[in-house]
Structure 1
Amino acid sequence: MNERLPTQLVVAAMLRRTNDAGGFGVVLAKGDPQAGAVLVVARARGGPVRLLERGIGPDGRPGLIDATPADDPDSYIARRRSRDPDLWVIELDGADSERLAAESLDVD
């Protein structure tokens, strides 16, 4: 059996680790507290936005997938939330936001 921590605990840990590392983390939209997916809006100190989420990589193992659209990220987030109301949207702004997201979501 593959047991995961509830999403609300994973999100809280991700925000805490980001803030402890000198970055800034905030919940933009809450999803299902137990099993919602997480979409991370990652910035490197105010730089360009990257949208990251847990997915299956090309090697078949769980990984952090870059879901950044070619068009407007805000409209992509709105579309995703309209199709999946259980989706959490978290913004992390810091030098290590991608690494902290990968570690918190338990992906390589």
Structure 2
Amino acid sequence: MTARLATHMLVSMLVRRVEALGGFAAIVHRGDRTSGTILVQCLEKGRETGLFERVSDHTDGHRLVPCGPPPESEWGASAQYIARRRKSDPDLWLIELDIADAERLAVESLA
């Protein structure tokens, strides 16, 4: 069995990394400190570029997969999706990143 970092540590590392690169990162909702699910809302200059969830790859690792409505969906679709997810999973973390290549940074930090 391999040791794993607690969710709050992974989130903290991602936030620091984005900020160190000159981007904006915010913890919109804090979930379970140890094992909460992580949703990452990626933006670039305020425009949504994707919503991603950290999931197990069933080989002692994780990956980031797209979830929710596509970024080009009608206004408010992502907010509705996130509200439904938070209602069904109070341990969910929601992280917002506004930086070029937000998805790549999230993958490198969370996968």
Matching residue within 39, 59, 79 for 2:84: 79
Q: Matches of 1:4 and 1:104 in 2, distance apart?
A: 13
Which blocks of at least 5 consecutive residues in structure 2 are unaligned?
none
In structure 2, the residue matched to 1:104 is 109
Q: Which runs of 4+ in 1 moved over 3 A?
A: none
Q: Which residue of 1 aligns with 2:47?
A: 47
Identical pairs, percent: 44
Supply the distance in 2 between the matched residues of 1:8 and 1:51 (Cα, whole angstroms): 19
CA shift for structure 1 position 83? 0.6
- Report the TM-score, using the length of structure 2 for normalisation: 0.84
Look up the equivalent residue of 2:32 and give its one-letter code: D
Q: Does 1:95 align with 2:100?
A: yes
Cα-Cα RMSD: 1.7
Alignment of 1:10-89 (within 5 A): 10-55=10-55, 62-70=62-70, 72-89=77-94
Q: Distance in 1 between matches of 2:44 and 2:19?
A: 13
SS in 1 for 2:90: coil
The TM-score with structure 1 as length reference comes to 0.86
Q: Which moved more, 1:81-90 or 1:44-53?
A: 44-53
SS state at 1:48 partner: strand
Which digits, 9 at most, give the CA deviation of each residue in 1:22-48, with x for residues without a partner? 100001100000100100000122223
Contact 2:55 2:64 in 1 (8 A): yes
Query: Do the aligned residues in 1 keep the contact of 2:41 with 2:48 (CA within 8 Å)?
Result: no
- Using the TM superposition, give the Cα deviation of residue 56 of structure 1 relative to its aligned residue in structure 2, in angstroms: 5.8
Partner of 1:6: 6
